[in-house]
Structure 1
Amino acid sequence: MSYSTALSLTLPSLTSDARHQLLEKQPLLSLYEVFATIPDPRSKHGLRYELAYVLTCLVAGFLCNCDSTLAVAEWCRDQRLLLIRLFGPRRFLCPSDSLYRKLLPRLDAEQIECALADWIRRTLQATLDDPIALDGKTVRGGRSDKHSAPHLLSFRTHHSQETLLQVAVSEKTNEIPVAQALLPCLPVDGRVFTADALHTQKDFMRCVDALGGKTVLTVKNNQPTLYADLTAYFADPHASFAQDSTLDQHRGRIEKRSIRVSTEMNSYLADWPLIEQVAELTRTVTVRKTGKTSHEVVYLITPLTALEASPQRLLALVRGHWSIENSSHYVRDMTFGEDRSRLRSGQASQILATFRNLAITLIHRQGSSQIAATRRHFASHPHLAFRFLLPRSVAQQ
């Protein structure tokens, strides 16, 4: 009986450029094969589990309703027959919780992020005009006595909800320069980028514009002069604007969004030369059970012209961004138990967050927005989860 899997690991550890070239030639590489290109920090002497095998089992476990490395290890023991069928007989079949806890902190999160980002872009299902949202999240469970909780910035498509890229934001900086530096690595041309008020910066708008994209940005008090100008304009009873509204009822809440959009401020806001439209968005939420109502007013700026973005489209773009921001945090925390994870060593918390994002992306790619229900389904039919991860010839066994 062999130490190694029955699958052929023909891909050596690759540089980012080499992997990029490989994906150009073979865009249908499986995730298992992509994992095989990631450098393994362990000595080859006495190696029991290949890195690609360990990572494939981890992602499969996440898809099958496991929230921790301990749960994944237990799940692997329960799926011995399936693992033998897919990977062939081997002496060491079930990676343990201790293996994951020792291995993950030794891996390079950036190398994993780059490998997955390359694969995601080459297999992207999003349409060419699917907007992209910037979404920052702090992994609270990753906090330790020596290190603060890692803050991760991700880029995710609105409609297909595929995570294109995720990076850690160093304690010595913030999301603003990181986002601007990463834009050339993303499919910007022809897309609209949405972001919260932190990224309402002239340089960010210019960077996106130079790459052929557009932005819809929120204005709050971090831009006090711009915020005051927009507040004053929309408070004027003689202000000229187009308007629209939407009404949603879900989870015991009635949510109304009303937008007023104007092109009259463009020449006045000369120090923001790309602005073509400004808007005031009012969000009113009523809780049916208590009757309590809350109001929120935010302002928007965009280089999209009135012909490119009607009030209705601007409402949809903002709603898409808020949906991504809220659902991403909720799913990773509540459905995957991210903040309950206590694996803090090295970059393990970031790596686990990366694989949670990957699992969510894979579920959305099969057309489901019900993450928890789909994970329960995979838990009952684990062979279906492996179809996302293995070469087609193996996954269909």
Structure 2
Amino acid sequence: MTLLFSNAGEPDWEVSHKGHGRLEHRQVWVSGELEGYSDLPSLSSVVMVKKRVSRGDKDPVDSVQYAVSSRRALSPGEALNLVRGHWSIENSLFHVKDDSFREDRQVLHCHHRGTVMSLFRNLAITLLRGNCNLWSTKESLIGRAQRLAALPITLFSITA
């Protein structure tokens, strides 16, 4: 993919974002030139995102990400959302499991027990995302998990 973007020229889209003590600048290129040239089924778009992160007086850090998509006529904004979307798993599942269920602090001496406990935590998070008379839909997932962690017996009072 590097060769595809070796003469990329001007980016299709640029965006800057400031927050959390850093300035992030992204440039996005989208190409449909590999459609039909690959063994990947349905390959339609290839994306390159160059990112520069500056944190105060420290030297800026540059990185490049590549992505492929089956969507045709992918706009640069949509492409950037797809590339950045990989963090949604971290923010919506692992963060909740680590902070609310303290999964990283669990010490189980048998691998199978750890797998079963992880499955139970995933089930609990799935239940927490649903509607229930114990919390409002405006309450955060972490707040719901902390409420159940404090009073786990309340889970048995849930009615469908």
**TM-score normalized by the length of structure 2:** 0.71
- Gap change, CA 1:369 and 1:254, over 3 Å in 2: farther
The CA distance in 2 between the partners of 1:298 and 1:316, in whole Å, is 13
- Change beyond 3 A, Cα 1:375–1:390: closer
CA RMSD of aligned residues (A): 3.3
Question: What is the CA distance between 1:280 and its match in structure 2?
Answer: 0.4
Which residue in 1 is equivalent to 2:134?
Answer: none
Determine the structure 1 residue equivalent to 2:70.
303
Trace 1:128-167 onto structure 2 (pairs within 5 A).
Answer: none
Name the counterpart of 2:81. Answer: 316
Deviation track 1:33-87 (CA, whole Å, cap 9, x = no partner) reads: xxxxxxxxxxxxxxxxxxxxxxxxxxxxxxxxxxxxxxxxxxxxxxxxxxxxxxx
| Structure 2 match to 1:233 | 4
Q: 1:376 to 1:275 in 2, by over 3 A?
A: closer
Deviation track 1:105-129 (CA, whole Å, cap 9, x = no partner) reads xxxxxxxxxxxxxxxxxxxxxxxxx
Aligned partner of 2:115 among 350, 353, 367? 350
The structure in which a higher percent of residues are helix is: 1
Give the SS at the match of 1:234.
coil
Paired residues, number: 154
5+ long unaligned stretches in structure 1: 1-229, 393-397
The verdict on how the C-alpha distance between 1:312 and 1:348 changes in structure 2, with shifts beyond 3 A counting, is same
Counterpart AA for 2:67: L
Deviations, residues 330-372 of structure 1 (Å, cap 9, x unaligned): 432344221221123362111111222233333344454451x
**Cα 1:352/1:273, change in 2 over 3 Å:** closer
Once the two structures are TM-superposed, the CA of residue 316 in structure 1 deviates from its matched residue by 1.4
Structure 2: distance between partners of 1:348 and 1:270: 42
1:293 aligns with 2:64: no
Match of residue 51 from structure 2: 283
CA–CA separation in structure 2 for the residues paired with 1:272 and 1:377: 46
User: What CA deviation, in whole Å up to 9, does each residue of 1:188-240 have, x standing for no partner?
Assistant: xxxxxxxxxxxxxxxxxxxxxxxxxxxxxxxxxxxxxxxxxx112212156xx
2:155 maps to amino acid: F
Provide the identity percentage: 31
Q: Is the 8 A contact 1:242 1:311 kept in 2?
A: no
Paired letter, 1:234: F
Distance between the aligned counterparts of 1:378 and 1:237, measured in 2?
Answer: 52
In the other structure, the counterpart of 2:155 is 386
CA 1:328/1:391 → structure 2, altered by over 3 Å: closer, same or farther?
Answer: closer
Structure 2 gap segments, 5+ residues each: 131-136
Take 1:291 and 1:385, find their aligned partners in 2: how far apart are those partners? 49
- Tell me if 1:362 matches 2:127: yes
Alpha-carbon separation, structure 1, partners of 2:52 and 2:139: 29
Residue type of the partner of 1:265?
L
The 1-side partners of 2:111 and 2:4 are apart by 50
In structure 2, relative to structure 1, the CA distance for the partners of 1:251 and 1:364 (3 Å cut) is farther
CA contact (8 A) 2:13 2:28 kept: yes
- The whole-number CA distance in structure 2 between the counterparts of 1:249 and 1:281 is 17
The residue aligned with 1:118 is none
Aligned mates of 2:44, 2:61 — CA distance in 1: 30
Greater RCO, 1 or 2 (C-alpha within 8 Å, sep 6+) = 1
Does the aligned pair in 1 maintain the 2:14–2:26 contact within 8 Å? yes
